[in-house]
Amino acid sequence: MDLDDLYHRAFQGDKAAEEQLFQMLTVMFKMFIRRRGVGNEDLEDIVQSALAKIALSYRRDGMKTNFAAWAQTVIKSQFIDFCRSESSRNRGLIELAAHNRNQSRSEYDPTLITRLKDCLRKLHVVNPFHARIVNLHHLGYTANEVCAQLKITANNRRVALCRARAMLRACLKEGDRHHE
């Protein structure tokens, strides 16, 4: 049974169909977010937010469009919201990094630098485009220069950079588990 059939049955009050619908959505959403390199803790938050939004809306609105397509739009929207919030959280990290630039290189943790380099190599293998965007930013190119060089829109750059950061963060967290 597909999502649209389950939706119609759940919309008419079938509790078993509703439960199955949300189980299918949970699996689909987790796969969608996991493919974007988001760690498990953030993955759960994003998926739960999307499921809550659907739970609040799907009975109220008789779907005039395809339910599966609408559900996909909801999870994409939640992911973009997560990326935007991550971007605002990262501003604090950027300020901290700017403050630490005055420190000599010898004060940086060499194991962290090695792990970061390994994660950057993994990112390049998984998605060279994302790695290129990170590299251009690291080299000091402005957002507009990155967009011009790669012939992409500002929004595509932001989303790709968010995904790259999420992948790097997940890789570094994975490394923390291996080094404990």
DSSP class per residue in 72-122:
HHHHHHHHHHHHHHHHHHHHHHHHHHHHHTTS-GGGS-HHHHHHHHHHHHH
Topology at the third CATH level for domain 104-179: Arc Repressor Mutant, subunit A (1.10.10)
Task: State pTM to two decimals.
Answer: 0.52
Residue 38 pLDDT more than 80? no
pLDDT digits over 124-154, tens only?
Answer: 898 889 888 888 887 888 888 889 989 999 8
Domain assignments of the chain as residue spans, ordered by start: 3-84, 104-179
pLDDT mean across residues, the chain: 79
pLDDT value of position 108:
60
pLDDT value of position 103:
47
Residue 88 pLDDT more than 90? no
- Does CATH place domain 3-84 in 3.40.50.300? no
Distance between CA atoms of residues 145 and 138, nearest Å: 13
